[in-house]
Amino acid sequence: MLELKAEPLTPEAFAPFGDVIDTRVSDSFAINAGRTRRYHDLARVETLGEGARTLVSIFVSQPVEVPLTIDFLERHPLGSQAFMPLHEERFLIVVAPPGETIDPGEVRAFVTDGRQGVNYRAGTWHAIQAVLDREGEFLVVDRGGQGHNCDEHPLAARIQLA
Ligand SMILES: NC(=O)N[C@@H](O)C(=O)O
Ligand code: NI
């Protein structure tokens, strides 16, 4: 059983896996006669393959227990997948770099601070959504269309908070 400690999420540490979506560390510019600030292009949405299109969904998830035990990671080879909390929900992230197999030594665990969202790059191995503390509501942007877009890979791991 792989034992992991979830480290605080940072854009730098998450860079091999995708984007962190966070207005606090992003540039913006004024629009709408100055009434609005646009935090522009914060994540790269990828939609690959036949009939690919972008889906906008809402996930309402029940909280997980910590330590979190998982037995697989999944990946979406044909598209990215972004999760943005709508009510400052914290969540656990377990990721491994894209590839046909998972090297346990390359698996990383993170915990968000409630304000952060993430966008998993196409092919990034990740645990299914794991919200902490209470029921969570997330805006999800990912890929629809033909073809198989969800592979699972066994990985037995227990994730603790630091
Ligand atoms: N299945 C689904 O839409 N969600 C998962 O991909 C996930 O990462 O939570
Ligand atoms: Ni997923």
Which tens digit of pLDDT belongs to each residue from 38-78?
A: 999 999 999 999 999 999 999 999 999 999 999 999 999 99
pTM of the model as a whole? 0.97
Atom 5 in ligand 1: residue holding the nearest Cα: 128
Task: Break the chain down into helix, strand, coil percent, rounded to 5.
Answer: 10, 50, 45
Atom 8 in ligand 1: residue holding the nearest Cα: 128
Look-up of token digits 């959504």:
129
Q: Which residues of the chain have pLDDT under 50?
A: none
| Cβ atoms of 91 and 112 closer than 8 Å | yes
Cβ(128) to ligand 1 under 6 A? Answer: yes
- At residue 117, the pLDDT reads 98
* Burial (Cβ within 10 Å: 0-12, 13-18, ≥19) of residue 54: middle
CA 34–ligand 1 middle distance (angstroms)? 37
